Structure 1
Amino acid sequence: MSIIETLRKRAGILVIAIAVSLIGFIVQDAFFGRGGGVKEPSKTIGKINGTNIDRQDFDARVKMMEAQYQSQGYRIEEGMRQEIQNQVWNSLVSRELILSEAKKLGIDFTSKEFSELLFSDNAPQEFKQQFTDPKTGVYNIEAARNAFLTLKKSKNAEQIKQVNEQLIDPIVLNQVQQKFFTIFTNGAYIPKWLIEKQNAVNGQVSDIAYTGLSYSSIADSAAVVSDADINDYIQKHKDQFKQEKSRSIAFVTFNAGANKEDSANLWNKMEGMKQALTDAPDAGVFVTRNGTKSPFFDGYINKSRIQVPSKDSLLALQPGQVYGPYYDANTIVVARMIGSKVLPDSVKARHILIGTIDLQTQQPSRTDSAAKALADSIKNAIAGGASFVELAAKYSDDLGSKDQGGEYNYFPNGQMVKEFNDFCFEGKTGDKGVIKTQFGYHYIEVQDQKNFETAYKIAYLAKTIEPSKETDDAASAAATKFASESRTEKAFDDAVAKNKFNKRIADNIKEMDYQVAGLTPSRSFVKWVYENKPGTVSDPISVGDQYVVAAITGEKPAGVQSAATAKLAIEPILRNKKKAAMLVQKFGKYSSIDEAAKNTDQQVQTTDSIRFSDNFKPGFGNELIVIGASFDKAYQGKPSQPLTGTTGVYVVEVKNIGALPNDAANVEEQRKAALMQMRQTMGYGLMEALKEAANIQDTRLKAGY
């Protein structure tokens, strides 16, 4: 959970922690190297320009980010876990590069600046809201100052560390980064004359005559590209052909997923449970006890929101009747109708929560009797004319709604906890009352209900179609047999041919990848690829619902690509270059566009209304060299030399160059917009330049990640 959510839910304790940490920051004038004397663990997962990246810190940040995703309802599966690790690694790289460069340049964010920022109207929003008056929406600076001055004495080191890492450090880093980037962005400048020139150029139109020869008119065999040609090209364009270290594998899969027999067995089992579900005195208890994949919802769902196969058949059931089995994706389901009633599909309501537990710690925050008494007092006060909005702002423990007067604007049926949901949807507009939930006591007022329709309560007994032990054993045995025949790369290929298996290839597998193309995410499988030497053949490895036998077929070192690797990208370029030279010879000597066309047995073609900003024109397509030549006054009234394009060689003659009026152009606004765009892109370019120049050693693989 984020520090802001923590602050909202633990305001009493954590405001003390914030106070101490901020006061400590202000008093000690600390920034670089702040840590409170905590001993740095010796284990590292990499280095950035010689600075160690601490494993313990990395793990803590990963754990925190996972918790944030989980709090938003995400499931942390293997693929997401690896993606989170990569996000944290990249953020640590960026942080270290920015801070180290800022330090070299003498850029700091002092304790005085920090204090001035925090206790001003420019304070970060996540901090300001802790001291904002809900009635006025005004940030109370003095209240923030006084809270810090009053709460100096807390010595909860863990909470102080948490606040430093989740609130203070990001603010400081952001301010330092802004200063660092400002040095560069403030140097950006676009003169007015440049915009005027661009407008003039973009406003031009031209008419041309042209003729051309396509590269396809020459056979590829007539323009042979050698490895020496490719290597020479690579040496002249090294920056374009850099590569990370990677490996390639060949692999064969053996399906261990559920088969038709497994599906049939589960179907028969579910058939046998229909009567038991029909006879069960409590359908909800029955499906829960029997391990349904779809948790029982003890409430009514509106017809329009029910999205299941066989919906019409299900909704036609009478209470107590059972339907099924039926397939729903990878499950087989038997369902029992419990009942139906007409309900709204959404409700607008407001409430005041008097909590009995701390939502962060799950520890008691108020006795049940005290919470009930306060909720009843609020009910009586509102009945006597007190302001609902003011009481919500003062007393409600639901920080998600208290600043809105306790209001939730049209939420769907089934979104809230059962007791809250039932009061709002099964009552009527205008109902008011105190109800109890797992969070405490709520005083609720139903403000509006809309879109009434029939809603249904249905108990679903859903079972996933899973492979039987026999299915898994058969796949494992087949994979083991193949692996035993394939202990070398040659034997692997021979066994593939003998058994007529489908050999699949995966290239460009990086050290920190977590998925191989064609397989489900499996970091352990990628680790195996790097923990063994090229030529090694694996034993069967379980990846998702398959067993995989793989052979490591090659490795590409970090550096510049070889001719074999780059051939696919470079060969067409060099081949066309050779063809271009041949086509230029075909044009020979000419003094007019007609003569150039005659020399090549081509026709002269014309195109008009060409704009400099065009990137495609019928006839010659996206040949930008032709579009550019269309505005070259040197070719006005006479033919150009042969122009080498991406698809062929062309000769152009400009017939006319004109201009369109552009009276509406606001040069100053265009200049400002272009400057803003330039400054926005500079940040990314600057970070990429820092990474390019840095010595970044990622040793997470060696550290076991």
Structure 2
Amino acid sequence: MATLETLRRKGGLLVAIFIGFALFAFIMMDFMGSGGSVFSGSQDEVANINGTSVSIQEFQNRVTEMEEFNKLNRGVSSLSEEEVHRLREEVWMQMINQILLEEQYEELGISVTSDELMDMVTGRNIHPAIRQHPLFANPQTGAFDQQQVINFLMMKNSDHIAYFYWMMMEEQLMNERAYNKFSTAIKRGMFVPSLWKDSEISSRSHAVDFEFVTARFTSIDDADVTVTDNEIRDFYNRNRNRFKQEASRTIEYVTFVIEPTEEDRRAAEDWINNMYDRFSAEDLDAAQFVNLNSDEPFTGRNYRASELSSRLEQFVTNASVGDVHGPYLENESYRLTRLVAVNNIPDSVRARHILIQEMTPAESHTVADSLMNLIRGGANFATLAREYSTDPGSAVNGGDLGWFREGMMVQPFNDAAFQGSTGDIVKVETQFGVHIINIQQQGRPTPKYQIATLARNINYSSRTYQDVYTRATRFAAVNNTPEKFNQAIEEEGLTKRFGRNIRENDRSVGALQNSREVVRWAYDASEGAMSPAFELGDQFVVAHLTTVNREGVRPLADVRSEIERQLRNDKKAEILKARFQEKTATGLDMVAIAEALGETVMVANGVTFGSFQVPGAGVEPALVSLAAHAPLNQISVPVRGNNGVYVVRVTNIEEREPSVENIMREINQNLTMKVDHQLIENMIDEASIVDRRLRFY
């Protein structure tokens, strides 16, 4: 039982360790046996990856496993919508990676044997994830203990939670080992040609100082260069791969925000005024009254006067117990505050504790009572904490929590520590378990104030909601064409907003939170469609689908201006090259050439072939290459760059002696990094992946 509880408490750390050591989070992803044709083309298919079909049931089962695993790790009963989405995205990528890699493993004969697995777990090469896992640490020393792993393996089959965890760990270890074999094989197959090596050595063997003149494309008016339709069309047809796009949608929309009206504000103010007499009653149980009537619960905390707002600080230091301050407005809430008590309690406490977490509260109390008897009988508190406490952060320090102020601990723990006396050993139950607390030291008692605040938040009423709903739905019904939509926006003084490049699996549109419903509508509707009124939180949204971009090559009309600009610059470059050649042919020096073209001579120093940019020119690889290879004291041929055409004159060459060993090490490291960072990405780019998640989520 204790092992199960340890698993529950420390499962989050397990995940963190694996994230640090594993290349991919292949958690419970046995998609290898999913088959390639059973669900192919069916309505249940959520994905098809290189012919391997995955049904929505199979995919959702994996998502559910991840959800349950995360809830178990974190000790929660539910996950937020955003957390579920994040897990679903993780499972999606795990599924793609797993299927694509399994194809490669089968082709190359890569596998992981049971002997390899045992070596990573109990052999000579213990995996860091096992070595650093708290489950396998010696209880006395905290160091890794191989016997703890063996004990765990012996009992896991009799405990379904332990078995679940081990299967996950085993899958993770085997997937990582298989991937390491695969990537290592690719890295070892990399070869650096001598031409590449010699080129790198040559390019780093000198640095140059040079002068350069830039003739920018903007120096020629666009009207002086003609680009024909045929030229644009020919360029488009030759370079269609440059214009590939993912599917996307663009919408324009208006929002109708549901917010409190003046009438709603007056209603909140009237409510708090009407509660004054009841809240001021002499025999009132303020805590119970607040918990029953207020929009904010009673905390029971004791505050130093300086911790309160200036308004309340002045009130509590001059009031008597039972006095009420207000009504007053704060943070969009009307409030009454009552002084409940003035207590002289320590400003801070130093304590240590032993946390007990058994299967049931009754079992925890039984263990705690036994430990308290041992402590009263003279047993060492710190020793017992190290052995029995399930709070790993303090157990290693004998349960010591150090000094803490009021409010830093959960309420029952806080009350026991601050209301007891130095030396007390008390037992208290919190949501974390049963604590044995030893109050070691207490700070000097100071006056603290316990207050109860009755709050009425200013919220919109059902009538306000209905008014905004009616306005939004009427707007959507009446303005059901793009022309009417835009005209109504102008007439009603609304603000038009835009959602651009919306992807199929996006969770939100622009600043609209939790707007998946709008995304689904945009992919179901036709271009030009008008939406109904969507309710998204505290607002309604009405949208117009302006653009539908389908996956594939962008239409010529969409890229025409981009192509025209490039072709125009190509022609400008030829004109500028001719101008340079004309000037250099007459024997002009750099200054004269610059003056003739209305430019100035720029200077750059210490530039090598590996330089990223040139001062005065920016990121210009062509200029860097030209300068690095130009002869000394000669005006170069003109070369086109990103922003214009350049000529250079190298004024100084500084010879250097590069380290061949360092260069080769750098090249090999770069190749290794490319494998690590681009291998899976390139496999995905080359794969045939059909994503049908939009049908289901």
| TM-score range normalised by the length of the shorter chain | 0.7 to 0.9
Q: 1:75 and 1:647, CA in 2 relative to 1: closer, same or farther beyond 3 A?
A: farther
1:598-655 CA deviation, whole Å, 9 max, x = no partner?
A: 4424343444454655545554344443343332233x21111222222222221111
Q: 1:72 and 1:372, CA in 2 relative to 1: closer, same or farther beyond 3 A?
A: closer
- Matched residue type, 2:129: Q
1:190-231 CA deviation, whole Å, 9 max, x = no partner?
A: 799989986885684433222222222223343455666555
Q: 1:144 aligns with which of 144, 149, 173?
A: 149
Displacement of 1:594 after TM fit?
4.0
1:467-511 CA deviation, whole Å, 9 max, x = no partner?
A: 222222222222222222233344434544555544433232222
Instruction: Spell out the pairing of 1:518-667 with structure 2 (5 A cutoff).
Output: 518-567=511-560, 570=563, 572-589=565-582, 590=584, 591=587, 592-610=589-607, 614-634=611-631, 636-659=632-655
2:637 partner SS: coil
Displacement of 1:351 after TM fit?
1.5
1:701 partner SS: helix
Q: 2:436 aligns with which of 438, 443, 446?
A: 443
Q: 1:426 and 1:618, CA in 2 relative to 1: closer, same or farther beyond 3 A?
A: farther
**Contact persistence 2:337–2:452 (CA under 8 A):** yes
Give me the whole-angstrom Cα distance separating, in 2, the residues matched to 1:565 and 1:577. 20
Displacement of 1:688 after TM fit?
0.6
Q: 1:85 aligned to 2:88? A: yes
**Contact persistence 1:379–1:443 (CA under 8 A):** no
Instruction: Spell out the pairing of 1:492-503 with structure 2 (5 A cutoff).
Output: 492-496=485-489, 499=492, 501-503=494-496
Aligned-residue Cα RMSD (Å) equals 4.2
Displacement of 1:323 after TM fit?
3.9
Displacement of 1:537 after TM fit?
1.9
Q: Which residue in 2 is equivalent to 1:48?
A: 49
Q: 2:117 aligns with which of 91, 114, 117?
A: 114
Q: 1:511 and 1:33, CA in 2 relative to 1: closer, same or farther beyond 3 A?
A: closer
Q: Which residue in 1 is equivalent to 2:7?
A: 7
Number of residue pairs aligned between Structure 1 and Structure 2: 662
Using the TM superposition, name which of 463-472 and 560-569 deviates more. Answer: 560-569
Instruction: Spell out the pairing of 1:420-459 with structure 2 (5 A cutoff).
Output: 420-427=413-420, 431-438=423-430, 441-447=434-440, 456-459=449-452
Instruction: Spell out the pairing of 1:93-242 with structure 2 (5 A cutoff).
Output: 93-120=96-123, 122-125=126-129, 128-149=133-154, 152=157, 154=158, 156=160, 159=161, 162-163=164-165, 166-188=168-190, 204-223=206-225, 232-242=234-244
1:3-51 CA deviation, whole Å, 9 max, x = no partner?
A: 997615599xxxxxxxxxxxxxxxxxx988589xxx9999442222232
**Contact persistence 2:364–2:433 (CA under 8 A):** no
Give me the whole-angstrom Cα distance separating, in 2, the residues matched to 1:328 and 1:184. 64
Percent of aligned pairs with the same amino acid: 29
Give me the whole-angstrom Cα distance separating, in 1, the residues matched to 2:347 and 2:224. 72
Give me the whole-angstrom Cα distance separating, in 2, the residues matched to 1:584 and 1:123. 62
Displacement of 1:455 after TM fit?
5.3
Q: 1:550 and 1:322, CA in 2 relative to 1: closer, same or farther beyond 3 A?
A: same
Q: 1:620 and 1:74, CA in 2 relative to 1: closer, same or farther beyond 3 A?
A: farther
Instruction: Spell out the pairing of 1:109-508 with structure 2 (5 A cutoff).
Output: 109-120=112-123, 122-125=126-129, 128-149=133-154, 152=157, 154=158, 156=160, 159=161, 162-163=164-165, 166-188=168-190, 204-223=206-225, 232-279=234-281, 281-292=284-295, 294-301=296-303, 316=317, 318=319, 319-339=321-341, 348-355=350-357, 357-358=358-359, 363-364=360-361, 366=363, 368=365, 370-381=366-377, 384=378, 386-399=379-392, 401-410=394-403, 413-427=406-420, 431-438=423-430, 441-447=434-440, 456-496=449-489, 499=492, 501-508=494-501
Q: 1:426 and 1:607, CA in 2 relative to 1: closer, same or farther beyond 3 A?
A: same
Displacement of 1:586 after TM fit?
3.0
Q: 1:401 and 1:641, CA in 2 relative to 1: closer, same or farther beyond 3 A?
A: same
Give me the whole-angstrom Cα distance separating, in 1, the residues matched to 2:269 and 2:451. 20
Give me the whole-angstrom Cα distance separating, in 1, the residues matched to 2:314 and 2:666. 59
Q: Which residue in 2 is equivalent to 1:16?
A: none
Give me the whole-angstrom Cα distance separating, in 1, the residues matched to 2:284 and 2:623. 82
What stretches of structure 2 of length at least 5 have no aligned partner? 12-28
Q: Which residue in 2 is equivalent to 1:21?
A: none
Structure 2 length as normaliser, TM-score?
A: 0.81
Q: Which residue in 1 is equivalent to 2:23?
A: none
Give me the whole-angstrom Cα distance separating, in 2, the residues matched to 1:478 and 1:245. 33
Displacement of 1:60 after TM fit?
4.7
Structure 1 length as normaliser, TM-score?
A: 0.80
1:301-327 CA deviation, whole Å, 9 max, x = no partner?
A: 566766x68565566563444444555
**Contact persistence 1:420–1:435 (CA under 8 A):** no
Q: 1:134 and 1:171, CA in 2 relative to 1: closer, same or farther beyond 3 A?
A: same
Displacement of 1:114 after TM fit?
1.6
**Contact persistence 2:10–2:134 (CA under 8 A):** no
1:547 partner SS: strand
Give me the whole-angstrom Cα distance separating, in 2, the residues matched to 1:541 and 1:138. 57
**Contact persistence 1:515–1:521 (CA under 8 A):** yes
Q: 1:511 aligned to 2:504? A: yes
Using the TM superposition, name which of 544-553 and 600-609 deviates more. Answer: 600-609
Give me the whole-angstrom Cα distance separating, in 1, the residues matched to 2:151 and 2:56. 38
Give me the whole-angstrom Cα distance separating, in 2, the residues matched to 1:62 and 1:453. 53
1:314-346 CA deviation, whole Å, 9 max, x = no partner?
A: 665634444445555454444334345576776
Q: 1:333 and 1:241, CA in 2 relative to 1: closer, same or farther beyond 3 A?
A: farther
1:286 partner SS: helix
- Matched residue type, 1:288: N
1:631 partner SS: helix
1:650 partner SS: strand
Give me the whole-angstrom Cα distance separating, in 1, the residues matched to 2:196 and 2:403. 53
1:557-616 CA deviation, whole Å, 9 max, x = no partner?
A: 111222343456555444433332332233342134245324424343444454655545
Give me the whole-angstrom Cα distance separating, in 1, the residues matched to 2:215 and 2:444. 67
Instruction: Spell out the pairing of 1:30-41 with structure 2 (5 A cutoff).
Output: none
**Contact persistence 1:586–1:599 (CA under 8 A):** no
- Matched residue type, 1:555: V
Give me the whole-angstrom Cα distance separating, in 2, the residues matched to 1:642 and 1:74. 70
Displacement of 1:250 after TM fit?
2.7
Displacement of 1:245 after TM fit?
1.3
Give me the whole-angstrom Cα distance separating, in 1, the residues matched to 2:129 and 2:348. 32
1:506-548 CA deviation, whole Å, 9 max, x = no partner?
A: 2322221121114222212222222333333222221222222
**Contact persistence 1:378–1:391 (CA under 8 A):** no
- Matched residue type, 2:647: V
